[in-house]
Amino acid sequence: MIKVNAEQILLAREKRVEIQNYISARFGLPILVVRVNYPGLDRDNNVTRGIANYIKDEISVSFANNIIYSQLIFTAEGPIYIAAIKDTPTHIKETSIKIEEKHPLGRLVDIDVYDSEGNGISRGELGYAMRKCYLCNDIAQCCVRSRKHSIEEVIEYINNKYQEFVCHGDVSLGT
């Protein structure tokens, strides 16, 4: 876990997209990608790795025997979990939304789903509202764009949510 700069994060993002495209082409299946919503330059740390592992475990339970391939990688962008899943993209996205909304750490991650052609499946396409901000319950995208909250405030919230979860034990959704 090393400190990085913004350029390294952008390069890691480009590399992730290459990996996603490779996995999608190799298996010809929808893929699921988990990223921790952690701001700043220190995105690969004990907290983000812990969050990614708990969510990875929840996805493993939710999709059981349907995960054909999965990989957890640690990058400048933070930990990334990618899985090729034998299921419909719509069902994968609906299950992902349930994890994002119901799991105690679900709000701290983005779970993106792509069909076998690489097209993203959005919450809106399935009739779900946009995600809310951790801190003020406004639309998250608006807060990020306007920089409504400081990086320190968001990091403190994430760290506190993670510590609270770890201290109260693992809670599975049992999906």
List of domains in the chain: 6-129 (3.30.70.1150)
Q: What share of the chain in percent tops pLDDT 90?
A: 79
Helices and strands (H, E) in the chain, number of each type = 5, 5
Query: For residue range 53-66, what is the model confidence (pLDDT) as tens digits?
Result: 999 999 999 999 99
Lowest mean pLDDT among 39-43, 67-71, 146-150, 166-170: 166-170
What pLDDT does residue 175 have?
Answer: 41
How many angstroms from the chain centroid is the CA of residue 119? Answer: 17
Please report how the helices 151-168 and 46-63 are oriented relative to each other, as an axis angle in degrees rounded to 10: 60
Q: What is the mean pLDDT of the chain?
A: 92
Q: Is pLDDT above 70 for 169?
A: no
pTM of the predicted model, to two decimals? Answer: 0.90
Query: For residue range 8-50, what is the model confidence (pLDDT) as tens digits?
Result: 999 999 999 999 999 999 999 999 999 999 999 999 999 999 9
Query: For residue range 124-163, what is the model confidence (pLDDT) as tens digits?
Result: 999 998 888 988 888 988 888 898 999 999 999 999 999 9
